[in-house]
Every structure is written in C-alpha cells, then in structure tokens.
Chains A and B, each alone.
Chain A
C-alpha cells in the first residue's frame, strides 16, 4: 500500500508538490497524469526513496520498489544482458533475464551495446532490466515514468497490455506516469490527476 498525506516538496524556491495526498491499495494499477512540471516524476522519486518529502507523511509498504526511469539510463559500456545482470542480486536465475527480454521483444539483442540500439529499443531494454529486477527481488511496487513514450503505437499497446497482465498476475501495485489518456485507460484501474 502507498499513502501520501499532505506531502510538500520544493526544488529550491519552486514548490512542485504542495500538500499532495493520495492512496494506492495493494494490487492497484494507477495512471498518474498532469501537465509537465506538475511533479509526476518527483512523486515517483519520493516513492522510490530517491528524495524525501520536506513535510507531510509518506508510507510505502514495499522496501524494494522497481523504478523505470523516463530515460533508458543504460550503462553504455555494458551489453543489454550485462545491464540487467548489473542490477540483479548475485546468483539470480538467468531465465529471468531471458523472460524479461522476451517480454519486451529484445531476445536477439542481449549481446548488443546500447549505442547500437534505437531509442525505442533502449527504452525496452531499460524496461526489461526493471522487470527482471522486480521478478528476482519479488517486488510488489512498480514505478513507471513514461516507459512507452519512445515506442510506436502498436508496440506501445502490446507492451502496455503485457505489463498489465504481468502485474495483475503477480498482484503488484503499479504507478504509470503518462500523457496519453488512451494508455491510461488501457492500463489503469484509476487515474490520479496532479
């Protein structure tokens, strides 16, 4: 479960979250929508523990949330598979890597370096890394910051649906930041407007 109660967060003088409150039940799939700069990514940063609220209370039940950043953020000197291995605990089963690569349609790109991938492929590799990590550590919270923005329409739809199925099956909670109302409707049980 996630609970934010009158959370305040500012970058210097600029207040991005001003008494923001929300709750998400376990297993709930949420879409987070709002204009640029309204604090959607900041909200995910707070939930991931990258930043702390300046006031208000924040409760996150999951100790190891999975974060898919807006940018792919792959280690440029590591192959796709190595990028996934880099974040997995030692001795993690390798079939998790193959599973996650297959889910995002990158089974053939495991030995490719990020520099040889297109923007969309990098985003999918980043997603595969997050999914493998989540599966291995058994995380029940996924924070997805516009993970499909670099993908074309058919791929975006199929991936969105595949992720939804996976989260439903595992009972995970997920917050998807998106600007696309159709994507929000297809993925989420509920929309949080900021």
Chain B
C-alpha cells in the first residue's frame, strides 16, 4: 500500500512558505531584537502601513520607470547593434572587446563610475543598460550567425523580398536567442537597478528608501522594501514568462 499522500501544488507551496516563515519567526524570537532581526509580523505591519501611503506607489513607480527605461533602451540598441555588426564585420570586431569588458566588470564598479559620469538620477537606468545590452547583443549576434544557410539559399533562389526574408527567416531564427537574452537579463537588471539606487540614492526610489531605512536603523522597513523588491522581481519574471509562452515558441520551433 502506498502510504504517501499527494498534496495539491498550492498546498505544498503554502506549507513550504509557512515552514520558512516559522523558521524566521523563531529566529527573530530567539534574537529578541527587532533592530537586528524583525519578526515577520512586524515586517508585515510595516509593509501594510507603507501600502497606505501615496509615497510608496510613487517610489515603486519611479524605480520601475528607471529600470524599464534602461531595459527598453538596451534591448533596442542591442538588437540594432547586433544587426549592424552582422553587416559590418569590422564593427563587430571593434565592439566585441568592449562587450567582453562590460560583462566582466563588477556592477558596483560601474555604479561608482556612473555616479561620477551621469549623476545620481540617471545611474539606475544606465546600470540597467550595462547589464542588459551585452546579453542582448551577444545572443542576437549568435542567433543571426545561426540562421540556417540552406534556408538562406531558398530565400535567394526564390527571390524572396528583403522584408519578407527578415519576417519569415531572420525573426523566427533569432527569436529563441532574443527571448533567452531577455529572460536572463531582466531579473538581473531589476536587482542591479535597485543596487544602483541604493548606492547612488536618486530622489524617490526603492533603493534610496532602503538606504534611508538603513541609516535610521529601521530594519523592519528595510525588510519590507526588500520584500517589495522580491515581489516585483517575481512579478516581472512571471509577466515575462507569460509573454514568453505567448510569443516565445513559434510554430514548429524545436521543443
């Protein structure tokens, strides 16, 4: 007889969450100092209080705007640059070392430099660009290089017009690489953007709010904001996964 009981997925997720909340509550009780480790109840109460203020939504909105602007710019420039580099090989050779250096440089170094170069308000967007652009460029460049040469010959032999080739051959060939780049870089960009805000402290942003809370030793507020960052990160990932499922796998793509 099989003694194991199969719980529904939601119940299992709730059980796991309850377990870790319990661990957190126990640890907070053992420490006994909310300055070091606030309890889940205190963090939830603080978050609830924050949710009732207009400043909270302005702060979240501003951070989302910073990061989204950076992402959109990086995606557009990354795709365009990769397409141009395919045509102008010398430009690709020129850009490749720069991309490699940007990828290898620690984010914190860039944040400090960006603070000097562009000033605090623009740092989060610039950092997001530096995170997303190399990944998008590299993947789109690879996708373009992997276009099936046999299908290219079909397009040549049958005199397919330029834009039809782009639509029916280039886009579907590059799409999996592009979406993989987005998937990899979006979560990373959000976290790096918040890190940039913490260091650069632009006016009204989540990172600045976390930094302010640290300065005034409002640990429960730091936890509450961090919870908001995690939640938004999950929402961005979920949103993108939904988008990926909708547009990601074209008909006939290899599984």
Contacts and interface: CB of A to CB of B under 8 A. Distances in A.
A71 B157 contact: no
SS class, residues of chain A in contact with chain B: loop
User: Which 7 A/B pairs are nearest by Cβ-Cβ distance?
Assistant: A87-B158, A77-B252, A113-B252, A76-B252, A77-B250, A77-B172, A67-B157
A85 B29 CA distance: 69
Interface of A: 48-50, 64-65, 67, 69, 71, 73, 75-79, 86-87, 113-115, 133
A123 B153 CA distance: 17
B252 A87 contact: no
B169 A75 contact: yes
A73 B150 contact: yes
A87 B169 CA distance: 12
A69 B254 CA distance: 22
Interface string B143-165: 00000001101101111100010
A179 B101 CA distance: 55
Given A48-B157, A86-B160, A87-B160, A69 B250 contact: no
Given A67-B157, A75-B172, A114-B252, 12 more contacts: A69-B154, A73-B150, A73-B153, A75-B151, A75-B169, A75-B252, A76-B253, A77-B172, A78-B168, A78-B251, A87-B160, A115-B252
Contacts of B150: 69, 71, 73
Contacts, number: 46
A67 B156 CA distance: 11
Contact of A50 (B153, B251, B254): B153
Contacts of A78: 168, 251-252
Nearest to B172: A77
A194 to B, nearest CB: 21
- From A49, A64, A67, A75, residue with most partner B Cβ within 10 Å: A75
Contacts of B151: 73, 75
